[in-house]
A and B are shown apart, each in its own frame.
Chain A
């Protein structure tokens, strides 16, 4: 099983700031990496797939990068609606595995 780790666990950010957080896989997943946003009481929403491709309707302030085992998600100019938990997930192998999440909250 590919183990996904994310850091940091929590980030406190002011609106308008930019934020970058990390995701690491225990072995290479090539570019088979997705990012999700989840707000309280809601289902996750796909933000990024193939490590860097934005899903339909996702604003361009969200960007992903990385390859192999190290990935990052950057949110430029954080908006109020961006405060949420962000998960990475690999789809290179079965079982599909998620990282534990990074919570972005308001400073």
Chain B
């Protein structure tokens, strides 16, 4: 059974830092492109960041570039998101998700975790 379990969310003051983690199981994590996607309360989905299987390709949304860092540890089947200089507008549920590769073409996010809530407030 595929599982993605996020952890590390919580309440942080503006300007603070936090690290999210995502533990993966049930699929070949080391071969998968992984992503963080967030959803502010009552709002739509916003892609945040992506990291290729060997960490050689990393992308960020402009809204988090320079403040967030995505990383992974394939031996631990884990994905991370280091978040600094947090702002109120970063408040959201953060999902980790796999971007499936079909015939070597990335083709959408097929596995999602249940999400972890980050609240940035004083």
Contacts and interface: CB of A to CB of B under 8 A. Distances in A.
A43 B108 CA distance: 14
A32 B35 CA distance: 17
Contacts of B115: 43
A28 interface: no
B45 A87 contact: yes
Contacts of A87: 44-45
Interface stretch (A16-24, A70-78, A97-105): A97-105
A91 B108 contact: yes
Interface size range of chain B in the complex: 20 to 34
A95 B114 contact: no
B99 A49 contact: no
Given A44-B109, A49-B107, A91-B106, A98 B59 contact: no
Given A43-B114, A46-B110, A87-B44, A95 B99 contact: no
A34 B109 contact: yes
Nearest to A33: B108
A65 to B, nearest CB: 16
Interface in A27-47: 32, 34, 36, 38, 43-46
Contacts of A56: 110
A61 B99 CA distance: 24
A37 to B, nearest CB: 11
B102 A97 contact: no
Contacts of A36: 45, 108-109
B47 interface: yes
Interface in A47-75: 49-50, 55-56
Contact of A101 (B44, B95, B97, B107): B44
Given A43-B95, A43-B115, A98 B107 contact: no
Nearest 3 CB-CB pairings of A with B: A34-B108, A43-B112, A96-B47
Interface of A: 1, 32, 34, 36, 38, 43-46, 49-50, 55-56, 87, 89, 91, 94-101
Interface of B: 35, 44-47, 50, 59-62, 95, 97, 99-100, 102, 106-110, 112-115
